[in-house]
Amino acid sequence: MADKSKIGVKLPTYLLEVERVKSRELMAAIGDDNPIYLNKSKAEAEGYPDTPCPPTYITMAFQEFTGAYLEIFKMLDVPLERVLHGEEEYEYIGEIFPGDVLHCQMTCESIVEKKTRSGSLDLITLQTIFTNQKDQTVLKARSLIIERL
């Protein structure tokens, strides 16, 4: 059961360097060949200074490359094997480009216990705010993590 006294807890801010090759790798894995995200001259023709990151680029900011999920689950006493990913939300405030350095601030926003027919769950909402090297907040992410109790 998630430690409800930890609602509001924040991970130390961590950095994510945005890399062009990771955008290409993600696009290849998805099977998406949209040139706006892959070809700088095509992006410039649509008025972007460079290729913007695709809508789900930021997914990689939470997994093993940064360890953010693992670290916050440890802080909340949530065992990994009981965790399911319920929802994911991105709010786009500005664009993210290759070469950007994002400061990532993850907060445990809420933990709500829910009883269902198949047992009890903790619904854990994690919010992460991404601020670039120019101090502009470019994205807010919210992950709803389900812990089966």
Check residue 46 for interaction with other proteins (CB under 8 A): yes
* Residue 136 CB coordination number (10 Å): 12
Q: Which is nearer to other proteins, 25 or 77 (CB)?
A: 25
Q: Are 31 and 21 in contact (CB under 8 A)?
A: no
Q: Is 136 in the site for other proteins (CB under 8 A)?
A: no
Residues 91-120 that bind other proteins (CB under 8 A): 91-92, 95
**Which residues have a Cβ under 8 Å from the Cβ of 117 and sit 6 or more positions away?**
none
d(CA 120, CA 14): 33
The residue (of 4 and 26) whose beta carbon lies closer to other proteins is 26
Count residues contacting other proteins (CB under 8 A)?
36
Q: Cβ of 107: how many Cβ atoms within 10 Å?
A: 16
Q: Which stretch binds other proteins (CB under 8 A): 7-15, 55-63, 105-113, 115-123?
A: 55-63
Q: Which residues contact 5 (CB under 8 A, 6 or more apart)?
A: none
Nearer to other proteins, 4 or 85 (CB): 85
Nearer to other proteins, 2 or 58 (CB): 58
Q: Token digits for 7?
A: 């609602």
- Binding residues (CB under 8 A) for other proteins: these are 22, 25-26, 28-32, 34-37, 46-48, 52, 54-56, 59-60, 63-66, 84-92, 95, 142
